[in-house]
Amino acid sequence: MDLSEKAEKGSRRFRYIKFCIFFSGLSVFAQLYLFQPMLPTVAEYFRTTAGDSSLLVSSSTIGMAIGLLFFAFKADSYSRKKLMTFSLISSAILTIISAWMPSLSMLIAVGVIKGFVVSGVSSVALAYLTEEVHISVVALAISMYLSGNTIGGMSGRIFATLLSGEFGWRNAVLIIGIESLVLGLVFWKLFPESRFFNPQETDYSLKVKQMRRFFTDPYMLRLYCMAALLMGAFVSVYNYLTFRLEDPPFSLSHFVIAFIFLMYTFGVFGTMITSRLSKRFSHSRILKGSVIFMFCGASLLLSENIYVVIFGLGLFTLAFFAAHTMASQMTALRAKHGKSSATSIYWLFYYFGSSILGSGTGYILHAFSWTVFISIILFSIGISLILALKNRDSATVKNL
């Protein structure tokens, strides 16, 4: 295959790919997490408990995990662009429909379906980029996608908070749904069709062999485990730091704590820095360095000085997204065959880590203390560092 035919930096095709892939990440993650800051309002509206209302967030994550498992087998049967377009437009329609759901149980059911549908984007986005973009700018393209994920997750939470306070939670959901629909339509019109991939009938025996090969390859398995551990640690910190900041010695107000989501902007810097560093350093070295900085950032969260905590959270966030960007890129580049399966498994571990570790550490915090909680976070990051140290650069190992 002539790499010169692939989208190169400066070309019109690359510009469309870069901006549309950014919009896709923006839409997906704005929708996935829009209910998180509105849970108290929704719980009060439906006269239910905080635990029940939290299912609005976890339902989408569960649907996402189920969808990723499904698309690990079926993604290669569909056109990359058609699958992503369907996912973006149908998920936006489901978000709009959510604004009129009469009960919490129906909202949760729609959340599961939406998570399943939107997983079509995550299951093939990285595969598309490594197939269609010139190797010299793959890192930039992936960083744009992950930046969209980051800004989408941040803006979805912040806009949902502001819009629900001004117009009510139903109108906030409706507005974000309409915005996501517009992004989906722009994607449909401008995103280039694949040139280096043709849909094919699913060969289930081949898929099982591919997945078995990925699961039995130590290199890939270490990346998958890192995805689970690092995402679990990241979600845990953002889930429970608010409890820490409400208590002495900080005693911050809810309004001030809400702006903690602005720290996600450091994630954008993390993905961008990674794309620049990848031109000078090996993938494995960047990954190891990112995990080390993430460990340092988490350590600073033990401080009782608010400025040290803020700095630590910024470093922790930047380093996480740098590590995630590099690990996901290494996964896609490592898999010469079955890229969609390889990246779907990566995201599957990523979201399971978010669910299991992200919830489990909450019980640890409740039973013990913030110090013990952070110790568990540091332990998870430490294991990830050991795994990263064992992985050589992807260019020095035989692709699967």
Alpha-carbon radius of gyration of the chain: 20
Structure tokens belonging to residue 272:
């961008």
What is the predicted pLDDT for the residue at 258? 67
What is the enclosing helix (H) or strand (E) of 63? helix 55-74
HSE-up (13 A, CA, CB side) for residue 173: 26
Tens of pLDDT along the chain (400 residues)?
444 578 777 788 888 998 898 889 889 888 887 887 776 678 778 887 655 766 777 788 788 888 888 887 777 778 889 999 999 999 999 999 999 999 989 999 999 999 999 988 887 887 888 888 888 788 788 878 877 877 887 777 778 877 877 888 899 999 999 999 999 999 999 999 888 777 777 677 777 887 888 888 899 999 999 999 999 899 888 877 877 887 888 888 766 776 777 887 787 788 778 878 887 888 889 999 999 999 999 999 999 999 999 999 999 999 998 999 899 888 888 877 777 678 778 888 888 887 778 777 777 887 888 999 999 999 999 999 999 998 865 444 555 6
- Domains belonging to the chain, first-starting first, are 1-196 (1.20.1250.20), 203-393 (1.20.1250.20)
- The answer to whether 187 and 23 are in contact (CB under 8 A) is yes
- Residue identified by tokens 């896609």 is 332
- Separation of alpha carbons 102 and 172, rounded Å: 16
What is the predicted pLDDT for the residue at 199? 77
Q: What are phi and psi of 367, to 5 degrees?
A: -80, -30
Q: Is 103 helix (H, G, I), strand (E, B) or coil?
A: coil
- Residue 96's Cβ-count burial label (10 Å; 0-12, 13-18, 19+) is middle
- The answer to whether 283 and 396 are in contact (CB under 8 A) is no
Tell me the CA distances in angstroms from 50 to 43, 53, 157, one per residue in order. 6, 5, 17
In this structure, the dihedral spanned by the alpha carbons of residues 117, 119, 121 and 123, taken in order and rounded to 10 degrees, is -140
Structure tokens belonging to residue 29:
């993650």
Q: What are phi and psi of 133, to 5 degrees?
A: -105, 140
- Residue 97's Cβ-count burial label (10 Å; 0-12, 13-18, 19+) is middle
What is the predicted pLDDT for the residue at 11? 84
- The answer to whether 321 and 146 are in contact (CB under 8 A) is yes
Q: What angle do CA 335, 337, 339 make, to 5 degrees?
A: 60
In this structure, the dihedral spanned by the alpha carbons of residues 263, 265, 269 and 275, taken in order and rounded to 10 degrees, is 120
- The answer to whether 26 and 154 are in contact (CB under 8 A) is no
State pTM to two decimals: 0.74
Q: Is the dihedral of CA 120, 121, 123, 125 positive or negative?
A: positive
Structure tokens belonging to residue 167:
């117009």
- Residue identified by tokens 């967030």 is 57
What is the predicted pLDDT for the residue at 394? 47
- Residue identified by tokens 């994630």 is 267
Identify whether 192 is preceded by a cis peptide bond (ω within 30 of 0). Answer: no
Burial 339-378 (b: 16+ CB within 10 A, else e): bbbbbbbbbbbbbbbbbebbeebeebbeeeebeebbebbb
CA 11 centroid distance within chain: 28
Tell me the CA distances in angstroms from 306 to 262, 354, 381, one per residue in order. 16, 26, 23
What is the enclosing helix (H) or strand (E) of 363? helix 339-367
Q: What angle do CA 257, 36, 115 make, to 5 degrees?
A: 150
Structure tokens belonging to residue 327:
């690990």
Structure tokens belonging to residue 85:
């377009």
